[in-house]
Amino acid sequence: MSMVDFLFYVFATLSVGGGLLMVLSRHPVPAALFMIVSLVGVAALFVLLEAFFLAILQVLVYAGAVMVLFLFIIMLLDVGPQGGKAARIKLFSLVSGILLVGMLVVVLVELSQAPDTSVVDPSTSWPELAEEATANEYNLTFSPSSKSFGFGLLAKYMLPLQVSGFLLLAAMVGVIILSKKFSNTDPEEG
Amino acid sequence: METVTPQHFLILASLLFAVGFLGVVIRRNILLVLMSLELMLNGINVALVAFSRSGANMDGSLFVFFIMTVAAAEVSLGLALLVAFYKKRKSIFSEGMSLLGN
């Protein structure tokens, strides 16, 4: 077993195990910490796939910004002692959830073993990466450098990049409006 | 990489997706539901990067970038909605969200 295989199994266990502990933990704070473990495991898997820029982005955006936001909201909304009783999982929802997830896993495993009609055979080994990425505007070859990432974003995906920037702006405006206190517009509002 | 094939990564991605789906179905705390949604999106990201690497094509990795953007926007809006919901109902559990059903 080579080093890369060993690291794959370590980080796969870390990400799936962290996710499972997150789903099953009773209190939100340990859940958020297990989620961080899972996200860092996924970032390490990105490193194994030689997507270094995405790994850095994963740690910065998910494990940094998003989970800090989650922890901040958890501390803001201190649900108090009634949180413990309501946080318990109902037996019915547990059974139905496990049934649904079992069906999902069966479908996905069946799909992954279906006869292969695609160009790329997933059970073969990885292609060798070219030393210098030979990319033009419509054919982007994979390369670990963040330079080719930026080229792809700004050449082929210029319009989606701007749309996603506009999406972030719209989300920011929405969050500000949602958390703003409007005085005497709605008597029910606190 | 010798014996870890793209198929291993795809099975791992489907496991991550399934675990996130389990969380969405069984949890009643909306914070945990949002976190499980993030886990599902992470499973998708792993599959996309594995396909991108095995096909030697950059497009999948670029899609991961856009998925991360949308996930960040989704989380910020979801948490703002959760805070607004908590202000009205003093609860963060999904059984309180039944106003349309009554």
Tell me what ipTM this predicted complex has: 0.90
Residue for token pair 């199994």:
A9
Centre a 10 Å sphere on the Cβ of residue B10 and count the other Cβ atoms it contains. Answer: 22
Let me know if domain B6-92 sits in CATH 3.30.1130.10. Answer: no
User: How many folded domains does chain A comprise?
Assistant: 2
Please tell me the predicted confidence (pLDDT) of residue A111: 75
Rounded to whole angstroms, how far apart are CA atoms B4 and A6? 9
Does residue A71 sit within a domain?
yes
pLDDT at residue B94 in the model:
78
Domain ranges of chain B: 6-92
Q: What average pLDDT does chain B have?
A: 87
Residue A128 lies inside a defined structural domain of this protein: no
Q: What are phi and psi of B29, to 5 degrees?
A: -75, 120
pLDDT score for A190: 46
Report the C-alpha gap between A140 and A169 in whole angstroms.
29
Asked if A45 lies within 8 A of B39 by C-beta distance, the reply is no
A56 contacts in B (CB within 8 Å)?
A: none
Q: Using CB atoms, which residue from B21, B25, B92 is nearest to A79?
A: B92
Q: Residue A167: its pLDDT value, please?
A: 96
Are A137 and A75 within one domain? no
Residues in A touching B93 (Cβ below 8 Å): 86
Contact A28 B31 (CB under 8 A): yes
What CATH number is attached to the domain comprising A41?
A: 1.20.120.1200
pLDDT digits (tens, 9 = 90+) for B42-84: 999 999 999 898 888 888 999 999 999 999 999 999 999 998 8
Of all residues in chain A, what percent carry a pLDDT higher than 70?
78
Q: Is residue A62 part of a domain?
A: yes
Would you say residue A105 lies in a domain?
no
Tell whether A17 is covered by a domain.
yes
| A23 closest CB neighbour out of B27, B71, B73 | B27
Is A113 domain-assigned?
A: no
Least Cα separation, residue A184 to chain B (angstroms):
15
pLDDT tens, position by position, A93-112: 888 888 888 888 888 777 76
pLDDT at residue A105 in the model: 82
Contacts of A111 (CB under 8 A, 6+ apart): none
The answer to whether residue A114 sits within a structural domain is no
Most confident segment among A39-48, A124-133, B10-19: A39-48
Asked if B28 lies within 8 A of A86 by C-beta distance, the reply is yes
Domain with A142 in it: 133-181
Q: Are residues A72 and A144 in the same domain?
A: no
Distance (Å, whole) CA A172 – CA A178: 10
HSE at residue A156, side-chain half, CA atoms within 13 A, is 19
Question: CB–CB of A108 and B76 under 8 A?
Answer: no
User: Which chain B residues touch A86 with a CB distance below 8 Å?
Assistant: 28-29, 91, 93
A–B CB contacts, 8 A cutoff, strictly below: 256
